[in-house]
Structure 1
């Protein structure tokens, strides 16, 4: 069995940090920090008035206390200009997954009007490494956001989207909120999916924290994006130095010198983030129909939502009993294509990532469907084709469905991404599911590993796994999120399985042990 890797949530959060925290950036040339003829204080945004170290700040990125990357942060007037602000954001992530190196560089430059409430004028995004190579060039006009996508060896793609409402204060909400001593609300246009999300920052009572062996009074601001839904807490000195940024309990950024920030640990993410089980799952968990019953800790209430696959019972001491179930769709009658999305259309959308409107993807989807019109029959054909056609390869990650189709290899994220794009192309609502899957690898330790699979609406929702060629994802799958959302990343390192039950307690017996 091919091992899956820690997929989109971790890398997704790493990229999201660039928008959810104060402008994480590579420092512009020295002249940018002190443009000649600086404007009057009343003419510029609070994002420029808020104190910050000159020349930028390096921060090391830690996952479960292991160094996996770094940032550099700065925001300043454009050299020689009084009316424009430049934020140049850069993040490097590097770790091993299984026996493959995962390395990603994400860099973006955002240009704003410098005045209070100054609007976003343009941005560029450069991405290299894990996920593929791509450059986005966006111009924000009142009439719309024009984005040109450039990928090696391919023709440029042009998209016109609704105009971004992002303001200069949104480039550094934490410092703006601390400067104003007030809540800040705004919008960030995400550099990966080009969707605008509401972002809110609130201030909290100051705290004293140790900085280089000395207690220092810190301002504290918490930022949350409606996309990631992960509270990001920044600790800032009165001089504006960003000392620490906490991303839930899983990831942390710490102020460091450039040399220290770039000094990364050798981290094997696959093993570091797994959830070890006290004993193997029962055999019936791999059957369909099948089930597994577990007792977990570290699972917040918001994840305990009953569904057709997962049921929850609260136990004493913060434990929860989780029943995982897998069964075939009931399918009382055929459901002809195309189907309406029960969620209002979100699961049929073509996006820059899920490119269900791509000509090659549409052509392949039509070919795979053939003359069949039944949604479940077509969904099975698509899942089977992806499972048997893509090469299982950790070192061939791609962030866009068309790239997956071109390279015809990848891991769970690539299998799921292409499957969802093909399903949507033939009119089957579909989405990616993030969670963990049970495996026993070479070390013989039973464990859950982070994984991604898909859910298709064929008249009812059903989960399918194109990585492991499962027409119905069996009861070894525990889903906790959708669409690569970083909301689930705080579970990494916190979620524990304390008991595996061979069967549920008898009627009338106490639930806990």
Structure 2
């Protein structure tokens, strides 16, 4: 089976990391700027002293914890420091997968104060690195430090993040208004719009007592997962809901750090009532199922997936696979139908890295046909990367150097090599059908790729499929946590031999 850390664990982590800055806390006893100095609203709201600890629960299983704190920088009355730390831990197959992500951000303390700097420390699954960033009007300068590697210096667009973005939830409740801002993501260094709305208060049981809680809902343009935080009148954050899948609950530090033993794939897999037909493995191929728990926004027909609404919230899904049409194939380089987004080099994809460009050129050689070139790239990745589910990496150049990993590493390196060759490409998130050692037919969370060779075609570098077969059900792109609410909610209630309501595709 595929042992991808991203697709039951780290997509959820991405959601939390995105939400972390807007849920930050500050000690009530922290020193305040002089009365004559203007105060940002992040310093005007009540909070528990010393920050807060929250346990993280995936489908009611404890898989991590979260700490957050905001205070004036010691000895300074003009700067605010926000600290967030996220720890995820779960068993992935036979191995323990753990990820620690810690950030410190410093802002001007005045209203609308700009982000001055931040430090990101990451260790565990995905690799160890430290990012030290300084924000100026001319750009965000980032120094990347990794054990045994020379430091790298990157300069990206200046961050538009403001002091109020460190705690949008409480600011929105204080103002009784919508708060909008931008947060620079600590993993890809891109700026994403964040919007928080104060919602009507509600009564809930907290530690056995019914209390009235203020609440605010935050959503990021990157993750698109609504995050709702609940606060007492004293400013204590008692719960955070990340859709129906993940919750964070206020706990003492010692309790927050006590985790359950969770095998994430057994917990999050989607069991099928019977096996898919043999033709699902063929190309051309097809599989037909009836699902529940699939929101309408995911029911968009594509060249690979067709949907028919049925009564009672059910939907018939037809999965298709086929070779790209010869008449549509294009020579290299290929124009990106999305305007260049799928050819872009980023801090994660790194298609402009010298080693990746060199390998891509070697693999493609004098080949002019884009699909033939794409097959060479996917074949090389499939046959030269060891399947090692405890050797993850978050950057394409790191994957190339270590030459091992799970489906996320295979997909990341393949996309980087394809883009370096002038082939638009992107990662696809979803599930893949596997009958594991226990004999249970099920979908497991997985990642593969899609390349534009004159038309879009999906390929799987983990399983060496030059056309991804009809056992692949895609629901998202580029490691986006938008699909995380499907985990634990999506069900397959019927496997069919052929479409009965849609007609033959």
Question: 1:18 matched to which residue of 2?
Answer: 17
Question: 1:327 matched to which residue of 2?
Answer: 322
Q: Distance in 2 between matches of 1:508 and 1:299?
A: 21
Question: 1:211 matched to which residue of 2?
Answer: 206
Any conservation in 1 of the 2:28–2:48 contact (CA below 8 Å)?
no
Cα deviation digits, residues 177-223 of structure 1 (max 9, x gap): 01111110000000000000000000111011111100111001000
Any conservation in 2 of the 1:219–1:235 contact (CA below 8 Å)?
yes
Is 1:286 paired with 2:281?
Answer: yes
Counterpart selection for 1:244 from 239, 260, 271: 239
Q: Distance in 1 between matches of 2:396 and 2:82?
A: 30
> Could you tell me how far 1:152 is from its partner in structure 2?
1.4
SS in 1 for 2:50: coil
Is 1:255 paired with 2:250?
Answer: yes
Normalising by structure 1, what TM-score? Answer: 0.96
Q: Distance in 2 between matches of 1:294 and 1:356?
A: 37
Question: 2:359 matched to which residue of 1?
Answer: 364
Question: 2:396 matched to which residue of 1?
Answer: 401
> Could you tell me how far 1:16 is from its partner in structure 2?
3.6
1:343-362 equivalences under 5 Å are 343-362=338-357
Q: Distance in 1 between matches of 2:31 and 2:203?
A: 37
Question: 1:498 matched to which residue of 2?
Answer: 493
Q: Distance in 2 between matches of 1:36 and 1:293?
A: 62
> Could you tell me how far 1:505 is from its partner in structure 2?
1.8
Any conservation in 1 of the 2:288–2:498 contact (CA below 8 Å)?
yes
Question: 1:181 matched to which residue of 2?
Answer: 176
Q: Distance in 2 between matches of 1:408 and 1:231?
A: 36
Question: 2:137 matched to which residue of 1?
Answer: 142
Moved more, 394-403 or 41-50: 41-50
Gaps of 5+ in 2: none
Q: Distance in 2 between matches of 1:34 and 1:40?
A: 16
Task: Classify 1:506/1:371 alpha carbon distance in 2 versus 1 (closer, same or farther; 3 Å).
Answer: same
Is 1:380 paired with 2:379?
Answer: no
Question: 2:108 matched to which residue of 1?
Answer: 113
Q: Distance in 2 between matches of 1:221 and 1:506?
A: 42
1:37-436 equivalences under 5 Å are 38-40=33-35, 43-332=38-327, 334-436=329-431
Task: Classify 1:43/1:409 alpha carbon distance in 2 versus 1 (closer, same or farther; 3 Å).
Answer: same
Alignment coverage as a number of residue pairs? 504
Is 1:7 paired with 2:6?
Answer: yes
Is 1:487 paired with 2:449?
Answer: no
> Could you tell me how far 1:35 is from its partner in structure 2?
5.0
Cα deviation digits, residues 334-377 of structure 1 (max 9, x gap): 52211110000000000010010111111100000011111000
SS in 1 for 2:12: helix
SS in 1 for 2:485: helix
Any conservation in 2 of the 1:50–1:179 contact (CA below 8 Å)?
yes
Normalising by structure 2, what TM-score? Answer: 0.97
Q: Distance in 1 between matches of 2:62 and 2:216?
A: 24
Question: 2:434 matched to which residue of 1?
Answer: 439
SS in 1 for 2:122: strand
CA RMSD of aligned residues (A): 1.7
Q: Distance in 2 between matches of 1:320 and 1:39?
A: 61
Moved more, 150-159 or 315-324: 150-159
SS in 1 for 2:327: coil
> Could you tell me how far 1:476 is from its partner in structure 2?
0.2
Q: Distance in 1 between matches of 2:224 and 2:502?
A: 39
> Could you tell me how far 1:74 is from its partner in structure 2?
1.1
Q: Distance in 2 between matches of 1:231 and 1:124?
A: 26
Task: Classify 1:459/1:256 alpha carbon distance in 2 versus 1 (closer, same or farther; 3 Å).
Answer: same
Q: Distance in 1 between matches of 2:4 and 2:128?
A: 20
Q: Distance in 1 between matches of 2:336 and 2:2?
A: 32
Gaps of 5+ in 1: none
